[in-house]
Amino acid sequence: MKTGRRQVFNPYLPSWEYVPDGEPHVFGDRVYVYGSHDAFGAPIFCVNDYVCWSAPVNDLTQWRYEGVIYRKKQDPGNRLGIRSLYAPDVTQGPDGRYYLYYAFDFLGEIGVAVSTSPAGPFSFYGKVHHASGKVWGKKSGEQFPFDPGVLTDDDGRVWLFSGFATKVPFVASRWHNLRNDGGVVMELDRDMVTIRQEPHLLFPIKGRDGAYPGHAFFEASSIRKVDGRYCFVYSGENNHELCYAMSDRPDGPYTYGGVLVDLGDLYMNGNTDESHANNYLGNTHGGMLNIGDDWYIFYHRQTNRTSYARQACAEKLERTPDGGFRQAEVTSCGLNGGPLEGKGEYEARIACNLWAKGHTTARIDKGKKATEGHPYFTQSGKDREENGDQYIANMRDGATAGFKYFSFDGDERTIRVTGRGKGKFVVTDGKNTVATVPVGGEAAFSIGQGVHPLYFTYQGEDAADFISFAIR
């Protein structure tokens, strides 16, 4: 991105990186993000090994690759690497070491790895187990272990959260008849792997007594402390939003707080229609980050018309007078500390809104047939090729890509669109047309002083690829 100063965008990692399920933590003077690891073009979730990215707490524009921190073959039960590492979490234990909690896809157990550094590398440590030594998830009738979220409290007590809503039809459920009633919590001993307080159901799934209406627990357990209280973040029953609940105790009871972020900005301004969301929908997962007085929610978006190439995004949160959080709008500038500059060159991949003619979207997790004829994020090259260009493909007549937000000085400028196609883009600020630009050409650009979004609507008979735009 060529601009007048260093900026950060959504997705905040390089275009070739696919790290979903991001859990941000501050250790020392850096923020570390731990997530699962998708591959571009993969047919399933999370085929790559765990990696870590970090940034200084005082500059979230400078993300550094820490490398591979844990390989799936390091677990003694996965020496052949057949199973995939799903969403992890990390905590610093009472002994000062760093513990990484993970689940292998739908195996139904939680593994633990340990390191002396938050950037790893991590070494296999053990499996979460009962005091008897029996691994949790190996006894008939137990709650299904999945998506660990872990907290080392101020008093040194360690709390592990977990849960999944969908009935798993193979492996764990078939062999051990595991339950999936919702999100559970348990206390671990100071050894970080032995269950001290048995799993206790806190967050029932949809249809069960005590479920949060309209936003019942689905998956993606994450736990933080907020002003001395406990804030549980999770993916709700709609699967494309992250919600939260608050409690005075880590083991509950919790009170539902609201939606923190939704991939399509649903539930904002009264819109609940998935077919007219502001972006294409699929699962999301993440955690909260606190730096000083600022709070952020980390989540992931979908690309390539599948659920298997997801990318890390984040938004700043606003507090409510009662100590809660307002729903964050999905933007292109989440960690930037303000709007992007209204000049410079920007890649189309940072669009935060994307829809087909008539403001129509679909759920990506319904399969590629659901998104036929729709625009989508994709890339050239293979997985993790740093020279692979990410762009928006299949922009057909009436398709729109939206970018929020930019700060403009009111001066007359020109705008150029880079792409492939024979049509043109009509550029608006959401209300007024500010330019009409042929694909591959430029035009005069005029927009008022202040902070505005930019929407690019394609007009043409054939499909176009939208690569970038430049304002000069």
The residues assigned a catalytic role are: 21, 219
Cβ(395)–Cβ(455) below 8 Å: no
Q: Where are the beta strands (DSSP E) in 71-175?
A: 89-92, 98-103, 110-115, 123-127, 149-152, 158-162
- DSSP of 73-85, one letter per residue? GGSGGGTT--SPB
| Torsional class of 373: left (φ above 0), alpha (ψ -120 to 50), beta (otherwise) | left
Cβ(223)–Cβ(124) below 8 Å: no
The tokens describing 466, both together, are 């939208």
Cβ(328)–Cβ(379) below 8 Å: no
Residue closest to 30 by CA, chosen among 76, 63, 72: 63
The 8-class DSSP code of residue 449 comes to S
Residue closest to 313 by CA, chosen among 267, 265, 380: 265
User: How far is it, in rounded angstroms, from Cα 203 to Cα 186?
Assistant: 13
CA 264 to chain centre: 13
Give how far Cα 170 sits from Cα of 106, 182, 366, Å. Answer: 8, 18, 21
Q: Compute the Cα dihedral for 335, 337, 342, 345 and give only its sign.
A: negative
**Cβ-Cβ contacts under 8 Å for 59 (sequence gap 6 or more):** none
